[in-house]
Amino acid sequence: MSEMLLVLDEGTTSTRAMLFDRSGACRGSHAEMLTQHYPQPGWVEHDAAEIWDKTLQCARRMVDHAGGVDRIAAIGISNQRETVVFWDRETGEPLAPAIVWQDRRAAPLCRSLRTAGEEGAVQARTGLLLDPYFSGPKIAWAMQEWPQLAEAGERLAIGTVESWLVWKLTGGLHVTDATNASRTAMMALGSGSWDDGLLSMFGVDRSMMPEIVDSAGQFGTTDVLGGTLPICSIVGDQQAAAIGQSCLDKGDSKATYGTGAFVLTNSGTTPPRSRNRLLSTVAWQLGGKRSYALEGSIFVAGSLVKWLRDSVGMIESAEETEALARSVDDNGGVYCVPALSGIGAPWWEPEARGAISGLSFSATRAHIVRAALESIAHQTHDLMGVFAADGAAWSGLRIDGGMVANDWMAQDLSDLLDLPVERPRFAETTALGAAMLAGVGCGWFDDLYQASAMRGGVDMFEPQMVKSQRRKRLDGWQHAVQSVLGAAHD
């Protein structure tokens, strides 16, 4: 009997496979780390072949754990968005490194297009800005700089990570869903179709790109796992997390704190228009009908803790950050602006670089680590203000991702935002959202509201910080972030 869903959750630093039953309980999980390549400052690459090999390894492990493919109803896929893969249609092998969403190499191209006055038209048609974060500028750079792509001619296929995985799983189906397509800066937000003018701007032929499909349905089958399984959901990771958090009604808001941090507020069935440099994106598409969200993107969150551990040796594990933060009464005047790969919303400054300021002889390792954790709440507070200015004020925030296992950080978010913060007891909401969509796609559920029964219990955090303390924190942060922005403009 097919009683489980297999989710392939393709992240930035790892890939994993997870099993879910109808109640939403996770019945198994296996992850493999992905190698990050940094060929130049600001450049981030993956090996697409490694992504596939390790995803397949994880999937096979979970099929065995389930007791065989007959125990699995369908596959769901969630993925790091904006990361671009280039491959050969005939051999099915990568033609170049995958350019990761964090990569900033297309910054000069974006700057020249903004100078030429193109950003207004791009935002009006796609809901996005001209920033190297998005897939279109990455593709444009690659088409100019990597001759093997032009030499491939009609053999060249381009897609984001879910397209690559579906191609490999099915042996040649080239599709993407509307959530991922809406992150390329080449899809018209209103029609849900590729925009020929934007494809031309970025030097992309429509034939290279995948077909845009729903987020749930029947997207071919795979025979590489020991039997035949249908692929029934495809969704970008942040939209998957919003679904996993049951942000199904207009105004519902979630923040995911993983490698980066991403806040989405449900905007209903009408594409939102931001006046404050937030992003408009597809939340999901079912039956050809789209729901939308406003989004704010923070480029560095959990990757800051990884940097503290792996690059500067300030901590031995992420888990010790909570004890260090609690060991001091405050940040001691130390602020961390984590612009290690530029700074995202609402500033959108790709040339910004990180800074730790306010150091004195009384500052300790604990103060620096606490300042790093506090930067998450500071950046989220910046986003809260611009969401409100766009008419999407938060009444509360649902949080998830690996970082929020830290109770101190969850409470700090509530304190600085002065809002109730809700954390699900099962934190892997990205995979859960992909499972909910796959449950709809394979017929387990009639709609996402019915599928939301898969979401479990939650823990609540209520604000406790006094107003004067909050104001002092925010004033110090504004001084620190403006110093970083000023240096980027010098």
DSSP 329: S
Q: How confident is the model at residue 1 (pLDDT cuts 50, 70, 90)?
A: low
* pLDDT tens readout for residues 459-472: 999 999 999 999 99
**Per-residue pLDDT averaged across 383-391, rounded?**
92
Asked, for residue 374, whether it belongs to a domain, the answer is no
pLDDT for residue 342: 80
pLDDT (tens digit per residue) in 197-217: 999 999 999 999 999 999 999
Q: What is the pLDDT of residue 484?
A: 85
- What is the tens place of the pLDDT at every residue in 344-384? 777 778 778 889 999 999 999 999 999 999 999 999 999 99
The predicted model gives 312-341 an average pLDDT of 91
CB 379 within 8 A of CB 335: no
Q: Is the pLDDT of residue 181 over 90?
A: yes
Amino acid occupying residue 39: P
> What tokens appear for 467 in the block?
């107003």
User: Is 100 a domain residue?
Assistant: yes
Residues 279-301, mean pLDDT to the nearest whole number:
92
Q: Residue 426: which of 401, 445, 443 has the closest Cα?
A: 401
Phi, psi of 313 (to 5 degrees): 65, 30
pLDDT per position as a tens digit, 33-92: 999 999 998 899 999 999 999 999 999 999 999 999 999 999 999 999 999 999 999 999
Q: Looking at residue 13, what is its pLDDT? A: 86
Q: What is the DSSP string of 46-106?
A: E-HHHHHHHHHHHHHHHHHHHTSGGGEEEEEEEE-SS-EEEEETTT--BSSPEEPTT--TT
Judged against a pLDDT cut of 90, whether residue 404 lies above it is answered with: no
Residue 475 counted as domain residue: no
Rounded-to-integer distance, Cα 460 and Cα 462, Å: 7
267-288: average pLDDT: 92
How far, in Å, CA of 189 to CA of 125, rounded?
A: 6
At position 338, the amino acid (one-letter code) is: P
**The pLDDT of residue 264:** 94
Which CATH number is 86's domain given?
Answer: 3.30.420.40
- The mean pLDDT value of the chain amounts to 93
Hey, CA dihedral for 260, 352, 382, 181, is it positive or negative? negative
The SS3 of residue 220 is: coil
Rounded to 10 degrees, the C-alpha dihedral 151/155/159/164 comes to -120
* Nearest CA-CA partner of 159 in 82, 95, 75, 56: 82
CA distances from 124 to 182, 205, 277, 280 (A): 13, 22, 12, 10
The answer to whether residue 10 scores a pLDDT higher than 60 is yes
Q: Which of 268, 259, 217 is nearest to 238 (CA)?
A: 259
Average pLDDT of span 120-146: 93
Instruction: Look at strands 26-33 and 211-213 and give their pairing.
Output: unpaired
Mean per-residue pLDDT, 251-259: 91
State percent of the chain over pLDDT 70: 99
> Count of domains in the chain?
1
Domain-embedded: residue 333? no
Q: What is the pLDDT of residue 324?
A: 94
Question: How far is residue 302's CA from residue 432's CA, in Å, rounded to a whole number?
Answer: 20
* pLDDT score of 350: 75
Q: With a cut of 90, say whether residue 276 has pLDDT above it.
A: no
CA nearest to 428, candidates 300, 286, 203, 258: 258
Nearest alpha carbon to residue 126 among 214, 81, 190, 196: 190
Q: Is residue 293 part of a domain?
A: no
Full domain range(s) for residue 19: 4-237
Residues 229-242: tens digit of each pLDDT: 999 999 999 999 99
Residue 272 — left, alpha, or beta (φ > 0 → left; ψ -120 to 50 → alpha)? beta
Backbone φ/ψ region at 425: left (φ over 0), alpha (ψ -120 to 50), beta: alpha
pLDDT tens-digit map of 422-478: 999 988 899 999 999 999 999 999 999 999 999 888 999 999 999 999 999 999 999
pTM of the model: 0.86
In a domain, 81, yes or no: yes
Q: Annotate 267-327 with three-state secondary structure.
A: EECCCCCCCCCCEEEEEEEECCEEEEEEEEEECCCHHHHHHHHHCCCCCCCCCHHHHHHHC
Q: What does the pLDDT read at residue 490?
A: 61
pLDDT at 488 (0 to 100): 67
Q: Which amino acid makes up residue 328?
A: V
Tell me, yes or no, whether 111 lies in a domain.
yes
CA gap 370, 220 in Å, rounded? 48
343 inside domain: no
Percent of the chain with pLDDT over 90: 80
Q: How far apart are CA 182 and CA 184, in angstroms?
A: 6
Residues 296-320: tens digit of each pLDDT: 988 888 889 989 999 989 998 888 9
DSSP 210: P
Rounded-to-integer distance, Cα 293 and Cα 272, Å: 7
